[in-house]
Amino acid sequence: MATSPFVSRLAERPLLCDGAMGTMLYARGVPLDACFDVLNANNPDLVRSIHAEYVSAGADLIETNTFGANRFKLAVHGLDARVHEINVRGAKLARDVRETMGREAFVLGSIGPLGKYLAPIGTISADEGRAAFREQAEGLLEGGVDGFVVETFSDLQEIRLAVEAIRAVTDLPIVAQMAFTEEGVTFVGRTAAEVARALRGLPVQVIGANCSVGSSVLYDILEQMLPEAGGLPVSIQPNAGLPSRVGERLIYLSSPAYMAEYAGKMLVTGARIVGGCCGTTPDHIRAMRAAVDRHVPTAARVRRVSVSPPAREEAPALRTAAAPTLLARKLEAREVLVTVELDPPRGHNIEKLVQGAKLLKERGVEIVDINDGSLGRIRMSVLPTAVLVREATGLDIIMHFTCRDRNLMGIQADLLGAHAMGIRNILAIKGDPPRAGDYVNATAIFDVNAIGLIRIIQGLNGGLDATGNSIGEPTSFHVGAGLNPAAVDPDKELARLFRKIEAGARWAQTQPVYDLEGLERFLSRAGRLSIPIIVGILPLHSFRHAEFLHNEVPGITIPDAVRARLRDAGDRALRRGIEMAQSLLQEIRGRYAGAYLMPSFGRYEVVAEVLEALH
């Protein structure tokens, strides 16, 4: 294959790719469940304007608006007969922008996964997959792309089919990018090194990673891929952190400055292409342009509303003779309360979790929280985990319960099962959307939200299901609610808390807090609350850990001063993080109902050390 202009330019200097197309369309009013790709035909000016913003921001590469323009994804919208047209138009729109603006920028035809699983897990054969990718590639080729980017793949077999399909019609350059989880593996468990070795064996010109996670994790992926890349250039395009749901919108947290800083680090480490994926905007790319120019001098340079709780009647007393739970008794007696979060295992072996719970019990913990699929990732289901931990340790349980994975019938069925097995403390939360986690094509149900879930639980406590039918003997759940003091719209968050209290919540647990004065300011907007607050504490392990949580994880804000203390601590950062958590724990004791400790990385011994502050 003759050397293409794109490959030649990449050999000369690193290149900057553009940012998210979907995020920009969404911000301009296109619904998340709409077909973004058909806008190439139905609203070309909108797509053209976004390409133009990225070129103006300094992007060397612009990707076509065709990520989901294959027959299977388009069929969901009844558009599978328009694959060729949509891809041709997508390529031509990007080329038109480049030529109109008169700035050199390469156009890469974007091809994403099929949106359906390949056999034997799914029903799509290899030949069907290859044919779908080929018709997309043919349209992009006719539209005039300079190369292709096959991106956000989680299955090596599927990305291999995509590359084979492109190679069947052209020898233009291909950038092959896989998606990784926070644990540094693909969604089917392949490490970055394994992925790099597999991708370098394909007829591609660039390998890399994009999407799903933010800059911090993908920097680690870069370090692992480089030694196994076989000399191929490596491309890294992170999300702007993990998405946070604000109302019905998804908001990404990483600032342009944060992503630009990591882009610089990536270039120094050896990346040849940097850019952004979900959540990134022209502002992010503009900041990254400056970072590219700063770190690579030879690069061409381009130029408060008060919230009052609604009046309500007290929730009716439970019509049950069951004794209150240990949690309820402690909250009622205003005893010092400490709970610790336990994540269910990724597999079916619960031994490590049980040993961690036993260690915590030795340190005086009496109640543990069992998580329910946080961040949209697959783990053992919450109910059997809760029962197994309780049976092995004798600890009382708070079971987190989300609305994401169960329809209205399933919610009530699982709740009744939990009550029958003696699980009565329920933290009712909405749950993270699947697109924030490992299974981006999975369907979220969300028949109800957290407020609706609390109402359902209170209905069961009154002996009735959600339709008003009798369930016989009432349940005796003690139900709590989540609270995010770092919410983008604090007034809306407090309004939702009042609705949760009205629905029957008996206590609230916060997201991790690192500034009690900030929490006080947040709660002061509400006046006097009628339920106790349990404050979240997540011990910090390092400056990088703090930066990751602050910039990439929804609902967590870490003050500059706290992050600076960790940075200055150097090798003693973990000790400093433990000391700060201990100090928070001491302060919480005299001001709130209790603390909710969350171990990072399964480090139960760190939480056990934090608990020494109570003795």
Query: How many Cα neighbours within 13 Å face the side chain of 105?
Result: 32
Domains of the chain: which residue ranges? 5-295, 326-614
The answer to whether the Cα torsion of 608, 611, 612, 615 is positive or negative is negative
Question: pLDDT by residue (tens digit) across 64-96?
Answer: 999 999 999 999 999 999 999 999 999 999 999
Report the C-alpha gap between 307 and 161 in whole angstroms: 55
- Helices and strands of the chain, counted as H and E runs: 23, 18
Angle between the 560-569 and 543-552 helix axes, to the nearest 10 degrees? 150
pLDDT reported for residue 408 = 87
Cα 330 vs. chain centroid, distance in angstroms? 34
Instruction: Count CB-CB contacts under 10 A for residue 338.
Output: 24
Are 108 and 62 spatial neighbours (Cβ–Cβ below 8 Å)? yes
> What does the pLDDT read at residue 315?
39
The type of residue at 39 is L
Give tens-digit pLDDT for 17-50.
999 999 999 889 998 889 999 999 999 999 999 9
- 149: which DSSP letter? E
Inform me whether the pLDDT recorded for 452 exceeds 80: yes
Compute the average pLDDT of residues 4-12.
93
Q: Give me the pLDDT at residue 533, please.
A: 96
Q: Which of 375-379, 565-569, 589-593 has the lowest mean pLDDT?
A: 375-379
pLDDT for position 318: 39
Topology alike, domains 5-295 and 326-614: yes
Q: pLDDT tier at 245 (50, 70, 90 boundaries)?
A: low
For the segment 445-461, the average pLDDT, to the nearest whole number, is 90
Fold annotation for 5-295: TIM Barrel (3.20.20)
Q: How confident is the model at residue 320 (pLDDT cuts 50, 70, 90)?
A: very low
Burial readout 569-608 (b: 16 or more C-beta within 10 A, e: otherwise):
beeebbebbbbbbbebbeebbeebbbbbbbbbeeebebbb
pLDDT at 311: 46
* Residue type for position 592: Y
Q: What is the pLDDT of residues 324-371, one digit of tens each?
A: 999 999 999 888 899 999 999 989 999 999 999 999 999 999 999 999
CATH class of 326-614: alpha beta
Flag whether pLDDT at 282 surpasses 60. Answer: yes
pLDDT for position 104: 85
341 strand-pairing partners: 369
Name the E strands within 185-276: 206-210, 234-237, 243-246, 249-252, 273-274
Instruction: State the pLDDT at residue 306.
Output: 39
> Is the bond preceding residue 433 a cis peptide, omega within 30 degrees?
no
Instruction: Report whether pLDDT(441) > 50.
Output: yes
CA distance 452 to 429: 10
Helix 573-589 vs helix 543-552: crossing angle, to nearest 10:
60
Of the pLDDT bands very low, low, confident and very high (cuts 50, 70, 90), residue 103 is confident
Instruction: Return the pLDDT at 307.
Output: 42
CB 242 within 8 A of CB 436: yes
Write the pLDDT tens digit of every residue in 141-172: 999 999 999 999 999 999 999 999 999 999 99
Compute the mean pLDDT over every residue in the chain, rounded to the nearest whole number.
90
Distances (CA, A) of 289 to 96, 302, 390: 22, 8, 53
Tell me if the pTM is above 0.85.
no
